[in-house]
Amino acid sequence: MADRIAIVTGAGSGVGRAAALALARAGWAVVLAGRRKDALDETAAMAPAGARILAVPTDVSDPASVGALFAATKREFGRLDLLFNNAGTNVPGTPFEDLTPEQWNAVVAVNLTGSFLCAQAAFRMMKEQSPQGGRIINNGSISAHTPRPDSAPYTATKHAITGLTKTIALDGRKYDIACGQIDIGNAATPMTQRMQRGVKQADGRVEVEPTMNVDHVGDAIVHMAGLPLETNILTMTIMATKMPFVGRG
């Protein structure tokens, strides 16, 4: 893996941090992308000694910022072998009828448009480099399969990620660009701390939900990323075993 280069978006915390550190431990050079430089620097400081890390503050919803991220990667490393399209956001649970256009647009801008912009930039770079090809892994979610109550923007964007994944997987074939999706359920991160306080269920009850160690998600990303390009995991679901997903609703 000494010459493998990865970009991880949303690398300043949670799943993105876990994936970036797991890739670094596996010998990948890792470009950390995220809005906050201080958070990216914290992730970089946690990497193993000798790891090749580049932190690039990035707003994935801004085409110019995404362009600068990929230009910096090419300038520093010369190529790209993996994009983990992980950056995401949400709004507090809101009844569908009360959602504002501003709330909707804020989630779509990061979760969907940001994923498109980063995937397109990675696709172009992987197509043009020699040897040609690479891998894109999109962070879907359990919400790419079924919603939680009061989650229209998040659920809609995560369902859309599945369509984006399949389209890239199809369009990338002729360039040796593989694309897959990881759907994560209840990894223990700052974003899921509310699980410990209880979250709304389909029947209106509020229940505490089990979580899992986020490092297992990082290990799953390393596995998906390490496959040869003639092999692809199109979708992987990794979840807390006892979370209420199977049979939900």
| pLDDT tens by residue, the chain, 249 residues | 448 999 999 999 999 999 999 999 999 999 999 999 999 999 999 999 999 999 999 999 999 999 999 999 999 999 999 999 999 999 988 999 999 999 999 999 999 999 999 999 999 999 999 999 999 999 999 999 988 888 999 999 999 999 999 999 999 999 999 999 999 988 887 766 677 788 888 888 888 888 899 999 999 999 999 999 999 999 999 999 998 888 755
pLDDT in tens, 191-234: 666 777 888 888 888 888 888 999 999 999 999 999 999 999 99
- pLDDT score recorded for residue 188: 85
Residue 246 placed within a domain: no
b vs e for 136-145, b when ≥16 Cβ sit within 10 Å of the residue's Cβ? bbbbbbbbbb
Residue 244 placed within a domain: no
pTM of the model: 0.93
- pLDDT score recorded for residue 18: 97
Q: Which residues span the domain enclosing 209?
A: 5-239
What's the number of CA atoms in the CB half-sphere (13 Å) around residue 146? 10
Catalytic residue IDs: 154
Residue 61 placed within a domain: yes
Contact between 169 and 224 under an 8 Å Cβ cutoff? The reply is no
d(CA 164, CA 68): 23
Contact between 1 and 51 under an 8 Å Cβ cutoff? The reply is no
- pLDDT score recorded for residue 191: 66
- pLDDT score recorded for residue 248: 59
Residue 245 placed within a domain: no
Residue 120 placed within a domain: yes
- pLDDT score recorded for residue 83: 98
Residue 115 placed within a domain: yes
User: Positive or negative, the Cα torsion across 215, 217, 218, 220?
Assistant: positive
d(CA 143, CA 32): 25
How many structural domains are present in the chain? 1
Residue 88 placed within a domain: yes
CATH label of the domain that carries residue 31: 3.40.50.720
- pLDDT score recorded for residue 1: 43
Residue 167 placed within a domain: yes
